[in-house]
Amino acid sequence: MFRVAIEMLMHDRTKYLGLFIGIGFTAFLVTFAMSFFAGFMTRGFALVSENPTATVWVMDRAVNSTEATINMSDASLGLVRGVKGVNYATALYLGDVTARFPNGHFQTFQTIGVDNASLTGAPKPASLLRLPQSIIVDSGGTSGKLQTPIEQKDRWSYDGSHLGVPTRKLQYGDDLLINDKRVVVATVSQTIPRFPPRPLIYTTQSNFKRLIVGEKRYITFIMVRGEKGISPKTLAQNIRKETGLKAITSEAFKKETVLWFLINSEDVGDMLNMVILAMLVGFGVTGVMLYMFTYENIKQYAVLKAMGASNKQLTNMVFTQAFIGVIVGSGIGIGLSALLGQAVASADFPFRMMWFAPFLGFLGVLIVSITAAMISVRPVLKMEPAMVFSGR
């Protein structure tokens, strides 16, 4: 009977191609949506990914992500450096500033301050930050935010803002004003885009404190690497015990950041709604196609039933056809999702196909197809074999 089911499926090429396309469309939507979600979550802990040499991150005990932070005192850096097993520890300073462009336009940046001596945490070429008042700017996943006037007459004009003038991207030598203090663009970097997207400014610790005044606590994170022979987990435990600060490994910090976004970010809810919508659309397409295929072959099932086939055998035939559709359709859909993902990822689209995306794509297709098969098998079980002879 399985062979009959396969031959019945392959007999009408138009119908089975339509069935495979419907199932493949479902797999494509679910896989692409989950990869899109994973891409955004990866960007959420971009700050950690940018600093792979740091194996342990130290922060205030209340901090659970790279997004919602509170600063520590400067004394915390000395405490961490004094812990046995610490090879190096360097501070990272985070803050938000509003920069004014030469044409009067203003833009909010996340500012990242790095250690004056080592410049750890700054993008290459970090040595440019040693120039006076210099900064490195980055789009941070945004577009059209780093624009300055082309014409000199539109720069720092005395007759007010020139907001509608032609602009170009920032480049070496351009200047901005932050809290009425001049800064000079040393270069424009291409680091990992952020989630949520926002422009970035990298600068030295001394320049950071010059731009953001009035704070009593400046250090947001301390990046630590242990001596040879000590594991990051053990080092984090030692730091927590001796300093009272929160210290976790880089991988644990990434997981905490993702969990924080899942709980607190409204954008995550929108992404989950997209996945649910993909499932519903896929269910509609697959369910209709499978039902039409089964219903249009109802006479063939009636013949088999008249020849003595049991309801169980007919049910197995319908589910066999659905399962073949799952295997072939999910392969098509997941493959197309991977190909399209590679194309859009090169254009800075947040796409990252992790192991669970194809698995959930296949699982989603399997659930949809089984449900559709259960609906489609009802007319097969209710039909009467006599319909073969009635001419209907």
Q: How far is CA 9 from CA 297, 300, 362, in A?
A: 10, 12, 21
Domain boundary among 264, 287, 322: 264
252: nearest Cα among 126, 63, 97: 63
The rounded distance, in Å, linking the Cα atoms of 59 and 66 is 10
Q: Are 274 and 89 in contact (CB under 8 A)?
A: no
Q: Are 215 and 71 in contact (CB under 8 A)?
A: yes
181 in the same domain as 168: yes
The 10 Å Cβ neighbour count of residue 296 is 11
Cα dihedral: 4, 359, 342, 267 (round 10): 130
Per-residue confidence band for 309, with pLDDT thresholds at 50, 70 and 90:
confident
200 in the same domain as 55: yes
| Residue 392 reports pLDDT greater than 60 | no
Q: Are 189 and 202 in contact (CB under 8 A)?
A: yes
Specify the pLDDT at position 386: 63
| Residue 391 reports pLDDT greater than 60 | no
For the chain, the farthest-separated pair of C-alpha atoms sits apart, in whole angstroms, at 95
How much of the chain, in percent, has pLDDT values that exceed 90?
Answer: 49
350: nearest Cα among 61, 65, 44: 44
215 in the same domain as 93: yes
The rounded distance, in Å, linking the Cα atoms of 137 and 184 is 10
How much of the chain, in percent, has pLDDT values that exceed 70?
Answer: 93
The mean pLDDT of the chain is 87
pLDDT in tens, 40-88: 888 899 999 999 999 999 999 999 999 999 999 999 999 999 999 999 9
130 in the same domain as 256: yes
292 in the same domain as 254: no
DSSP 335-373: HHHHHHHHHHHTTT------THHHHHHHHHHHHHHHHHH
DSSP 34-57: HHHHHHHHHHHTHHHHT-TT--EE
Cα dihedral: 345, 350, 351, 352 (round 10): 110
**Cβ contacts of residue 328 below 8 Å, gap of 6+?**
20, 23, 24
Cis amide prior to 125 (ω within 30 degrees):
yes
105 in the same domain as 227: yes
239 in the same domain as 172: yes
Find the length of the chain: 392
Q: What would the 3-class secondary structure string for 274-337 be?
A: HHHHHHHHHHHHHHHHHHHHHHHCHHHHHHHHHCCCCHHHHHHHHHHHHHHHHHHHHHHHHHHH
pLDDT in tens, 88-120: 999 999 999 999 999 999 999 999 999 999 999
Domain boundary among 211, 235, 264: 264
The rounded distance, in Å, linking the Cα atoms of 226 and 64 is 22
DSSP 132-194: TTEEEEE-TT-SS-SEEESSGGGSS-TT---TTS-EEE--TT-EEEETTEEEEEEEEE--PPP
206 in the same domain as 119: yes
80 in the same domain as 190: yes
- Phi/psi at 108 (5° precision): -85, 135
| Residue 39 reports pLDDT greater than 90 | no
Please report how the helices 2-11 and 311-345 are oriented relative to each other, as an axis angle in degrees rounded to 10: 50
The rounded distance, in Å, linking the Cα atoms of 29 and 43 is 21
298 in the same domain as 206: no
**Cβ contacts of residue 327 below 8 Å, gap of 6+?**
none
DSSP letter (8 states) at residue 71: -
Tell me the residue range of the domain where 203 lies.
47-264
User: Which tokens in the block code for residue 157?
Assistant: 């004009």
Domain boundary among 217, 233, 264: 264
The rounded distance, in Å, linking the Cα atoms of 17 and 9 is 10
206 in the same domain as 225: yes
User: Which tokens in the block code for residue 376?
Assistant: 């489609």
DSSP 211-265: HS-S-S--B-EEEEEEPTT--HHHHHHHHHHHH-SEEEEHHHHHHHHHHHHHHH-
277 in the same domain as 182: no
**Based on the structure, what is the number of domains in the chain?**
2
pLDDT in tens, 164-217: 899 999 999 999 999 999 999 999 999 999 988 999 999 999 999 999 988 889
The rounded distance, in Å, linking the Cα atoms of 377 and 276 is 25
Q: Are 211 and 203 in contact (CB under 8 A)?
A: yes
202: nearest Cα among 126, 88, 99: 126
Per-residue confidence band for 340, with pLDDT thresholds at 50, 70 and 90:
confident
